[in-house]
Amino acid sequence: MSYITAGKENSGTIDLYYEDHGTGKPVVLIHGWPLSSISWEKQVPVLLDAGYRVVAYDRRGFGNSAKPTFGYDYDTLAEDLHKLMTELDLADATLVGFSMGGGEVARYLGTYGSERVDKAVFISAVPPFLLKTADNPEGVDGSVFDGIMESIAADRPAFLSEFLSNFYNVDVLGGDRVSDEAVRLSWNVAAAASPVGTLDCVPAWLTDFRNDLASIDVPVLVIHGDADRIVPFPASGKRTPELVRDSRLAVVEGGPHGITWTHADSVNRELLDFLGQRVQAAQPFAANPT
């Protein structure tokens, strides 16, 4: 197993687990909350077959990475990504952030620039700014996030069951695009995450990324499902292209939050097209690029 060290907590090191496969231009995959890099199961083989080097890592507190009791703000998380990029000496990379991982992509580019980055992809991602404020009326009311934190603190395993049901829109797509076993796998991964990290990540979702997005000087692809119950499309993916100079939006019709699983063919086709290659989808393509 491969690790980089991102810091220390008392007598222990904060080690981040990563996998590094293939050759060619690197694609760095940054997973969503509360999962791990295993959630890219349907993307990694496709990217490798297309000739890319694929690097996927686990955010601190999740998957096989260390589980410290601090560092779940986006400045620290972007610094973790920067340490990975530097340690592996990645260049001309494409950063692909899913959900919370989109925040790492935005803050990384806003802080460290694009010296090592060629392109960026936001999938079901939290930018530009989820919290409803006077100057951000399209956002989500803060009471929603307070309720999430209360539910996690009260009974994290029960919360995860309900969350993942809405993550995949199981009531609509269960048995067709997502199996009970796939949802159970996600629950197992999420339940094994740090309880502290799981809770402390929630306030980070309210980070304002508008200035980060405005500073991005590489091509950007935004992929979002129009039936996303976790990160609503009108508050996020629909708005991000308005703030990025060179961007394209692909909307997955009927897509839930977890489109990397339920609509993997559509996501993979859009992703490879953006990277410069094509893939033959196994079922009708459901994204509408604009």
Q: DSSP 3-state assignment of 56?
A: strand
* Sheet order of strands, 117-123 included: 2-9, 12-21, 53-57, 26-30, 93-98, 117-123, 220-225, 247-252, 287-289
257 is catalytic: yes
Q: Among the options 65, 99, 186, 236, which is catalytic?
A: 99
Q: Among the options 257, 263, 265, 266, which is catalytic?
A: 257
Q: Which of 215, 207, 216 is nearest to 236 (CA)?
A: 207
Residue 150: CB atoms within 10 A of its CB come to: 10
Indicate the residue type of 130. Answer: L
Q: Which of 17, 64, 70 is nearest to 203 (CA)?
A: 70
> Beta strands of the chain (E only): which ranges?
2-9, 12-21, 26-30, 53-57, 93-98, 117-123, 220-225, 247-252, 287-289
194 is catalytic: no
Residue 236 · residue 72 · CB < 8 Å: no
Q: Among the options 58, 80, 200, 228, which is catalytic?
A: 228
**Helix pair angle (74-87, 101-112), 10° resolution:** 70
- Whether a cis peptide bond, with omega within 30° of 0, leads into 34 is yes
Residue 259 · residue 40 · CB < 8 Å: no
217 is catalytic: no
Residue 81 · residue 55 · CB < 8 Å: no
**Angle at CA of residue 63, ends 60 and 69, nearest 5°:** 35
Q: Which residues are catalytic?
A: 99, 228, 257
